[in-house]
Amino acid sequence: MSNPLLVDAQLPLFSRIKPEHVVPAIDQLLADARQTVADCLQASEYTWDNLVEPIQIAEDRLSRAWSPVGHMNSVVNNDELREAYNACLPKLSDYATEMGQNEALFKAYQALAASPAYADYDKAQRKIIENSLRDFELSGIALDAAKKQRYKEISQELSHLASKFEENLLDATNAWSKLITDESDLAGLPASALAQAKQTADSQGQQGWMISLQFPSYLAVMTYADNRALRREHYEAFATRASDQGPNAWRWDNSQIMETTLALRHEKAQLLGFINYAELSLSTKMADKAEDVVGFLERLADNSWRQARKDLADLREFAKKQGLNDLQPWDISYYAEKMRQHDYQLSQEEVKAYFPITRVLPGLFAVVEKLYGLQINEINNFDSWHPDVQFFEIYDKDNHIRGQFYIDLYARPKKRGGAWMDDCAGRFKRSDGRLQIPVAYLTCNFTPATGDEPALLTHDEVTTLFHEFGHGLHHMLTRVDHLGVSGINGVQWDAVELPSQFMENWCWEKEALALMSGHYQTGDALPDSLFDKMMAAKNFQAGMMMVRQLEFSLFDFRIHLEYDPKKGGRIYDILEQVRNQVSVVRPPKFNRFAHSFSHIFAGGYAAGYYSYKWAEVLSSDAFSLFEENGIFHRPTGEAFLYNILEQGGSEDAMTLFKNFRGREPEIDALLRHNGIAA
């Protein structure tokens, strides 16, 4: 049988991909890519068509084979696939380093940039060439042979460490569960959470109710369980995953991985002439200097801290009236929900009943249809990695296909936690006119359906779905024809969250909510009284939530900015300092939050987690134009589509934002949307 990863199909052949296919396919495609580069370098004079495009075609073929492998490793993980995936990481790292340090290739790009034809290239082509020359520098093209070899070793090791960090976290999450045989121990949990716990136990041949560290299960216990000891136990298991603490202490401990990762990042930055990794990180972002980032975060903290302290004082006072004098972290979600119900007569469970996935997903599509004139159709005959997966196509107002996407919505064992968008294929128009349609993966971890009832989403989960779909639209609606800057490619990292956070705004608009909600049993519309309560409670504890995100952002930036080889990472020392500066909730000593902070230790957010807040300023300010003109004002929607979503990384993010908004971003809308005075 032929290797499904080597079949140049429009979409991956998921059901045919086996672990034994992975290494041979990647080996062959890497060899093909190397040969392509060697062939291109034989040219006597370099052009786009004989240098950039052939290499893009070869590397795109490699990327489209690796993409389903990496995706399946995240969503249907098993030992054999994990082994094959890890076997390829050093091979891919070697190739990237080799290309980045290929002096003949570097000189070819320099010649292209200096050629008379350069002026005739479109802005996307010129941006790709500029980015490539920058990336050669960031890959160590100017280093001597010994330093180039060290750079290669560091890159390989960092790739391995990121994978191991994620594996440890996945294994630690899957390792803990608790069978409850007395239903009274779960008093307070809503019927939907009990049904899910029962379904989980049944699936494992157990009698009773099974709770786990899958996020829907964890959140239900922390929010609703009257049993304080159970909340405490569940909190500790979750907060100590992959660490030296808790019920599985040392078994999947990420401590050394984190230390080594920080040391290697620092060494890599210094090899390239930067003082620290934070500086290296900013070389491809909107923010110019480390002081700009720290100043931005501290300014937000100054605006938010008083509100956060008041939020916590109010919660403590409420808990006291309920008979609890020592509010602990495992009590916060529980009493916050009770306080929300008391102050606003708003129950999350009552809200969930109006957000069945069968209304939310079509409603999401209706929102973008109104904004951009899109039409989204479900395709039923497609190849998949799991029965839960759905597949859709997007058409624009002229009935041209713009993109395709897979949605995998529900939590399950062997699936990485969280929510994310990733690219399966990017938009790419070849010189012969053939167009590759962009394809995205949209992944969430919602509570699955139980029995005959549809999956019901919390309003937070609705917002998460809109967030990830915003990323997907950025990837799929691009009109840029050149792969290096189409969709999310080449977008400055601290602007990449703009389209995703922008989409969240419609989850709070009555006219939009009418499209995505309806009682799962009766179909009744979301009542005005419930909407009014949701709006009144919108910024409930917004100050606490703001400083929590600022804590994560400052911690991430400072451990990379202040790394000292003589002192090591000082991970929890710096985290404690940041908490002294901006936090209001102090977790217990055993809390090992950083050990599961995969955004920065296994994702692309190292010294860049601040991007969420940086981009939230952009998204809030962008949405304020819709507040002025109307939330479904088509000309404004089309202006956002044209200036932001369609442009990909073909121009600097600030230029694109100013093209849309007519000015630079202002912070006021962000503070207003969070109920915090400027």
**Annotated active-site positions, please?**
468
Q: How far is CA 10 from CA 377, 489, 538, in A?
A: 18, 20, 43
Q: Which amino acid is at 507?
A: C
Task: Give the integer Cα–Cα distance in Å for 481 and 434.
Answer: 10
Sign of CA dihedral 88, 599, 618, 625: positive
Task: Give the integer Cα–Cα distance in Å for 64 and 479.
Answer: 20
Instruction: Quickly count: other Cβ atoms within 10 Å of residue 192's Cβ.
Output: 19
Helices marked H in 254-374: 255-271, 277-282, 290-321, 329-344, 348-352, 357-372
Q: How far is CA 579 from CA 316, 333, 391, 622, in A?
A: 19, 19, 43, 31
Q: Which amino acid is at 241?
A: R
Max Cα–Cα distance, the chain, nearest Å? 82
C-alpha count within 13 angstroms, C-beta hemisphere, residue 676: 27
- What is the distance, to the nearest Å, from the Cα of residue 159 to the centroid of all Cα atoms in its chain? 18
Task: Give the integer Cα–Cα distance in Å for 548 and 314.
Answer: 17
Contact 494, 608 (CB under 8 A): yes
Contact 658, 664 (CB under 8 A): yes
Give the pairing of strands 401-410 and 439-446.
Answer: parallel
C-alpha closest to that of 297 among 551, 493, 542, 597: 551
Residue 211's H or E segment, with its range, is: strand 209-212
Residue 492 has what DSSP assignment?
A: -
Between helix 215-224 and helix 191-203 the angle, nearest 10°, is 140
Contact 419, 468 (CB under 8 A): yes
C-alpha closest to that of 599 among 395, 419, 456, 393: 419
Task: Give the integer Cα–Cα distance in Å for 489 and 472.
Answer: 12
